[in-house]
Chains A and B, each alone.
Chain A
Amino acid sequence: MDRPTPTEPDLLARVLHEARRCGGAWAEVYVDDRVTETVRLDGGGVSEIRSDRDLGVGVRVVGAGGRSGFAYTNVLTDVSLMEAARAAAVASGSQPGAAGVSQVDLRERAARSTQWAARPADRTEAAVKVDLLRTVDAAARSHDPAVRGVTATHVDVTQQVVVATSDGALCRDQRVRTRVTCRVTARRDGPLQTGFAGPGAGCGMELYERHPPEAIGERAARRALHALAGTDPPTGPMPVVLGPAAGGLLLHEACGHGLEGDGLTRDSSIYARTAGSPVASQLVTAVDDPTLAQAYGSYAIDDAATPAAATVLLDAGLQVGALTDAGTAGLLGRPVSANARRESYAHPPTTRMSNTYVAPGTDDPGEIIAGIPRGVYVVTLRGGDVDVTAGEFAFSAGEAFVIEDGEVTRPLAGLTLLGNSRSALDSVRAVGDDLAFTQALCGKDSQWVPVSYGSPTMLLTALTVAGGARG
C-alpha cells in the first residue's frame, strides 16, 4: 500500500518558503522513507520477523544569528509540514520579516547512487531469509559440540532520501543496506565465551553470494572457540600486529571521531590544535570515502544535500583533512566534505564518518609478523571507546593470538588494548597491502549511522596489552 510521500518539488518549496517567511535565513527539508525488514533466528528457531515502514520529514532552519532550529514530524499533512517549518523557524530564533520572501526555485541535482541491489531484499520473501539464517545457524552449530547458542540476524533497509534547501538544491538518494550477524556462545567446562561475525554491504541479497552463510556461521563459531581455548594475554607494552580490518576500528575511534567537525570547532578534540602537523607515522594515510561502491557507509549525497566525495584525513602522517558540514566548515575555514549524516528524519545532521580506512602500504603481512620476536596478533577488535579530548582509548579484541619468534601461535582470551590515539598512530611501523573492511553501526550523540572501517595489516609499537580471562 503506497503512502503519499511529500517529495514533490512544489510541496518542498512551499515548506521551505514557509520557513523563510517566518524569518529563517536558510532552510532545509529532509524526507526519509525507509522500509526495514528484520529476521532473527535464536536457538535454532525463528524468534522474530519484523517489518517497519518509517516515513517522516525533518525541517532545519538557520536563523540570522546562526542558531539552528529543527523540527520533525511523521504526520504528513500539509498542515503538519507547515507547522514543522514554523516550529523550526521559531526554534532558530527567527522573527518574521517585514519584507516579502521570494519563492524557492528548486533545481534537481543528479547524483549517482553508490548503493544498489541486484537482488532487492525488500522484494525477497521472509522465508528465503529464514532459510539463509538456518544455514548460518547450522554451520555454527556443526563446528564444534562446545557451541551452545547461536543467534543469527538478517536486517535489510531500503531507503529513499530527499533533501531540498532554500538555496534551490533538490537531491535524491536511494540507499540499500543488507547485513547479517551471527553471535555464538560456547562453553566446555569453564566459562562462557562468545564469537561474532557480521558482514554487511550497500547491496541486496547478493550479500550472501559474497559472504556465504556457511562461512558466516563458521567464522563466528571459530572465534568463540579460539576464545574458549585462549589463555590470558601477556601484559604490558609490546608490539601489536592488527590484522586486516582490525586497524580500521582503531582508526575510526581513535582518529576519525577526533577529526569530525563538531569536536574540532568546540576545541574538544585532541586534533583541534594540530591541523597541518604530523600526528601519525609517515606510513599512515587515512581516508574517509562515502563514494565506495556498495560499501555499508556509502551515500550519493550526504544528509544535507552535499554531493559525496572522498576526504583525505591524514596524508603520510600529516593532519590534512577534516570531516565537515556547511556549518563546521565555515567555522574551521575548510571545504565542506559531505559528512553531514543523521540517523533518520527525527535527527538533525551532525558530522560523521562514512567508510574510513588506512590506505594500503607495501609491506607483506606475513613478513610483518615474521619480524616480531614477541607480541600479539589481533585478528578482530570487538569494540572500544576513546576519550576524544584526551585521546586515551581501550579496545577489546574479538580474536587474538600470541606472536612468538615470528609465528602466530596460541589463542588469547580477554585481551584489551590500551593507548593514546596520537602516540599509537605515531608508532605504526609497518603497513601491509591487504586492505579489508568491517561494517558496523556507529553511535554518537544518540544517533546511529551505518559505517565501515578498514585497514591493511599494521604493526604498532606503542600499545599496552592488558586483560585476561580470570575465570
Chain B
Amino acid sequence: MGDLSDLATSVLDFASAGEELEVYAVHTVATTVQAGAGATIRLVDCAETRGIGIRLFHDQRVGYASTGDLRREALEASVARARANARASDPDPPNLPPDPQPAPLIGGPSRPPSPRPLADKIALVAEVTAAAEAIDPRVTAIDTAEYHDERRDIVVASTRGVRAQHELSWCTVWVETLGDHPAGRASDLGYWAGLDPGTVDPEALAREAVSRTVRLLGEPRRRPPDLPVLLDYTVVGDLLAAVGRACTGGALGNRRSPFAGWHGTPVASPTVTLIDDGTQRSGPYDDEGTPRRRTELITGGVLTGALHSTATAHAMGDGSSSTGNARRLTHRSAPRAAPADLQLEPTSHHDQMLINIGDAVVVQQLTGAGSGINPVTGRINVGAVGWLLRDGQPVGPVPTTSLTTDLLAFLQTVTHVADDGRPVPEHPVTAATLACDPELLS
C-alpha cells in the first residue's frame, strides 16, 4: 500500500501552475475458480493488475487519462494527455475535485480473516458442485460453480490535499443448476457473498440452487388473478438497482429520472424506506476519496434524498454536498455517482409474513430485465417467471407473464418488506423478499 500511495502522490508533482490533479491508483489481486459437471475444475484464474486514473482540472475544464504503465515517463505522458483532453473540453464549473475531509469514523480494512490457499478454494468449488449433483434427480446438470475473491488496494490523492487509502475485499461463491421436465427446462443459482469463504456451507448453497431450480419445473398452473405477489430477492435486486440509478444526482439533475421533480413528495407506499448504506460493504471512502455514509433516499414512501459525487452535488446548485457515492468501475473510468449498497428497511419477519399472506404468486426471475427496466423513463416491460405458493409450500410454476408497470407504480404496490436481506448478484443491492399488491401483475 505504501508503494501505491507513494506512486499516486508522485504523479501530483506533474501538475503545472494553475492546474489541479487527482490521482486514483489501484492494485488488484483476484482469484477465480470454475467447476462443471462431475466437480471437474475447468478454470483457475489468478490475476494481478495495477493502474492509475488521472483527472486534471484547469480553467474550469477537466481532462481524463489512464494507464497501466507505471513507469515515471509513462505517468508524465498520461498527465500530458489529460491536459490536452482538458484543453479540448468545455468549461464545466461544477466539476471540481473534492476538498479533503476528516477520516471516516466507520469502516476500515474489509479484509478476510486470513488468506486461503488456492487448494482450499478449488476444494470448496468442487464440494459445492458435488453437493448440487447429489440432491435431486430432477437436476440433470451443473452449468457452472464459481469461487471468486478479489482484493483492491486503492489510493486517491489530489493536489487539494485528499489522501485516502483503503483495502476493499470481497468473495462470492455460486452454483447454477439445470433441471429437466417434459414441460420445459429451468435453471437458477445458489449464491453467497461475503468476506470469509470459511463460512460458506457448500451443502446449503447447493440446496438453494436446486430448490430454486426445481420450483420452476412442471406443467404451468393457472395463475389466480387476485393473489398477492411475492418478489424474490434477485427480482428485487433488479428493480432496486434501477431505482438507485434513477436516484443519482446526475440522473435527477439532468432530469433523466422518473423521480426528477418529486423531491419531498410520495413516490412509494408508506411501507418503503430505501437507504443507500455505504458503511458496510463498500470500504471507508468512495472513489474520489470522500468518506462513505448512509443516505436515505425514500423515507416512509417520500422521496427525501439523492446520491451524489462531488460534481453532481455542485451541479445541483443548492448547497448539496457529496454523499460519498462517486464510483469508478476501474481506474479507466471517470467517477460517477452510483449506489454503494441499497437496502429497504424491513417491516416484517420473513416467516411470519409468509404465514400472514398464505397463498401468493412468487416471481423468482425476470426475463429482459437488462433492457426492459428503463431507469430514465422508469418503465418496466419484462417477463415474470415464477411459481405458486399455497399454504407456505411451492406447488408448481405459473406461465411466464408480462410485468408491465413503472418504477413508481411498482413502489406503490409494496405492502411488506421482509427481514431476509442479502447481497444480490451483479447489483450493489442487499435485497429482501417483498410482498406486493396483486395489481403488480394485473
Measuring CB to CB, which residues of chain A are less than 8 angstroms from any residue of chain B? Answer: 1, 3, 36, 42-43, 45-56, 66-76, 87-88, 90-93, 125-127, 130, 148-149, 185, 191-194, 235, 263, 266-268, 270, 346, 348, 382-387, 389-390, 392-396, 414-416, 418, 464, 466-471
Contact = CB atoms under 8 A, between A and B. Distances in A.
Which A-B residue pairs are the 6 nearest by beta carbons? A383-B371, A394-B368, A91-B44, A466-B402, A50-B64, A49-B85
Contacts of A72: 47-49
Contact of B41 (A51, A67, A71, A418): A67
Nearest to B260: A192
Given A74-B69, A193-B377, 18 more contacts: A42-B254, A45-B90, A46-B89, A54-B332, A73-B47, A74-B51, A75-B70, A192-B376, A266-B143, A268-B141, A383-B371, A384-B368, A384-B371, A389-B178, A394-B382, A416-B381, A469-B379, A470-B404
A86 to B, nearest CB: 10
B47 A53 contact: no
Given A68-B44, A194-B376, A385-B367, A49 B89 contact: yes
Interface in B340-373: 365-372
Nearest to B311: A47
B213 to A, nearest CB: 9
B367 A125 contact: no
Contacts of B381: 394, 396, 414-416, 466-468
A327 B142 CA distance: 18
B65 A51 contact: yes
B398 to A, nearest CB: 13
Contact of B88 (A125, A148, A267, A414): A125
Interface in B31-90: 36-37, 40-51, 62-71, 73-74, 77-78, 81-82, 84-86, 88-90
Interface string B104-143: 0000000000000010000000000000000000001111
B280 interface: no
Interface stretch (B14-22, B182-190, B199-207): B182-190
A185 B376 CA distance: 8
B396 interface: no
Contact of A348 (B36, B43, B64, B334): B43
Contact of B402 (A36, A191, A392, A418): A418
A148 B255 contact: yes
Contacts of B400: 392, 418
A463 to B, nearest CB: 12
B433 to A, nearest CB: 22
A121 B292 CA distance: 39
Nearest to B36: A266
B144 interface: yes
Given A45-B92, A73-B48, A90-B118, A414 B404 contact: yes
A416 B143 CA distance: 28
A334 to B, nearest CB: 18
B385 interface: yes
B44 A50 contact: no
A71 B367 contact: no
30 contacts: A3-B69, A46-B90, A48-B334, A49-B85, A50-B66, A52-B66, A69-B43, A73-B48, A75-B49, A87-B46, A90-B118, A93-B41, A191-B258, A192-B258, A267-B141, A268-B187, A384-B372, A385-B370, A389-B185, A392-B383, A394-B383, A395-B368, A396-B381, A416-B368, A418-B383, A418-B400, A466-B404, A467-B404, A468-B381, A470-B409
